[in-house]
Structure 1
Amino acid sequence: MLISRKDFNIKSLNYTIRSAVEADAEALSDLRLQIDGETENLDREPGEAFIDPKGFQSIIKADTESARNIFLVAETNGRLIGFSRCAGNDLKRFRHKVEFGVGVLKEFWGYGIGKNLLQESISWADENDIKKMTLHVMESNESAMRLYEKLGFVVEGILKDDKLLSDGNFYNMIVMGRLNNLN
């Protein structure tokens, strides 16, 4: 599905949030690879589960045609600096919900990009009869958890020792969800 583009100016940074288009595929492939190497908050090591430009073209095309998915990008001066995706499920028992994921380049943390990507996704979900959004967040990512709670997500569970990081330790993942109470 597609959304209307929105422009933001936060701390003197102008950026746009818009739906991903197939022409973004190469930049998205590079962006995801870079973000994976900048934080252990995400699931992948750099290069793992690599998606090449053709793969991103397929994802973007499918998401654009689906009423249950949305793929957004954040862009400044023609450069992609973040993305988010809500992916739904066509099984009848799960059609009411989507799972949210987000990534922002580290140099652009603190500009509200992740928050605005999530808010746009929430608006889309609320307007399209999505009853529930879910996400997983690492227990040590307290700033993300505070943001999610502020936007209506609640802790639904803890996945114990779910993620093994480069320090050799296991970390819990927090399962969070947000119900659309408007419907």
Structure 2
Amino acid sequence: MERLDAHGFEELIQEDREQPRNLFLVAVVDGKIVGFSRCEGVRLQRFAHKVEFGVCVEKRFWGYGIGKNLLKESIAWAYAHTIKKMMLRVVHTNERAIKMYEGYGFSIEGILKNDRVRSNGTYENTVVMGRWHDNIGSIES
């Protein structure tokens, strides 16, 4: 997801409210949004069984379980909405996140080589992970 200003962020949340296959959650500390997660579905019937998941937490709030709680709530929502598959993308160097996702039933489905460009001009691989419905509903880890 590209960087959004406050207005763009509000528009995205409103759009997701109107889409039955989308979910937008926020984590708030002292009245300030410090993290969010999003599930985005597709209207096409052949893809209606799945959503793409993403999460973002401000670095200074890492280690407090915010990302994990957003993930657990998203999985519970997917289960309640009979979503069969959740997918996500994570940079290959984020081993901590990959391990957490694996703990919640996600498995690596592929690697997108040289998928991201860093600000210094170097390229990074993206890990594509998925979680099938057999695991959805079991959110304890």
After TM superposition, give the deviation of residue 97 of structure 1 in Å: 0.6
For structure 2, the 5+ residue unaligned runs are none
The residue aligned with 2:46 is 93
After TM superposition, give the deviation of residue 116 of structure 1 in Å: 0.6
The residue aligned with 1:125 is 78
Amino acid at match of 1:152: G
- SS at the partner of 1:130? coil
- SS at the partner of 1:80? strand
After TM superposition, give the deviation of residue 75 of structure 1 in Å: 0.9
- SS at the partner of 2:28? strand
The answer to whether residue 24 in structure 2 is matched with residue 71 in structure 1 is yes
Structure ID, larger Rg: 1
Query: Compared with structure 1, are the counterparts of its residues 62 and 168 closer, same or farther at alpha carbon in structure 2 (3 Å cutoff)?
Result: closer
Amino acid at match of 1:163: R
The residue aligned with 2:114 is 161
Q: Distance in 1 between matches of 2:112 and 2:22?
A: 25
After TM superposition, give the deviation of residue 50 of structure 1 in Å: 4.3
- SS at the partner of 1:100? strand
For structure 1, the 5+ residue unaligned runs are 1-42, 44-48
Q: Distance in 2 between matches of 1:111 and 1:147?
A: 14
Find 2:91's aligned residue among 117, 138, 143. 138
Query: TM-score if structure 2 supplies the norm length?
Result: 0.89
- Root-mean-square deviation (CA), in Å? 1.7
Q: Name the % identity.
A: 54
Query: Compared with structure 1, are the counterparts of its residues 66 and 175 closer, same or farther at alpha carbon in structure 2 (3 Å cutoff)?
Result: same
Q: Distance in 1 between matches of 2:126 and 2:105?
A: 18
Structure 1 residues 9-67: Cα deviation after superposition (integer angstroms, max 9, x where no partner): xxxxxxxxxxxxxxxxxxxxxxxxxxxxxxxxxx6xxxxx4433333332222211221
The number of aligned residues is 136
Find 2:67's aligned residue among 114, 117, 122. 114
After TM superposition, give the deviation of residue 178 of structure 1 in Å: 0.4
Q: Distance in 1 between matches of 2:24 and 2:38?
A: 4
- SS at the partner of 2:109? strand
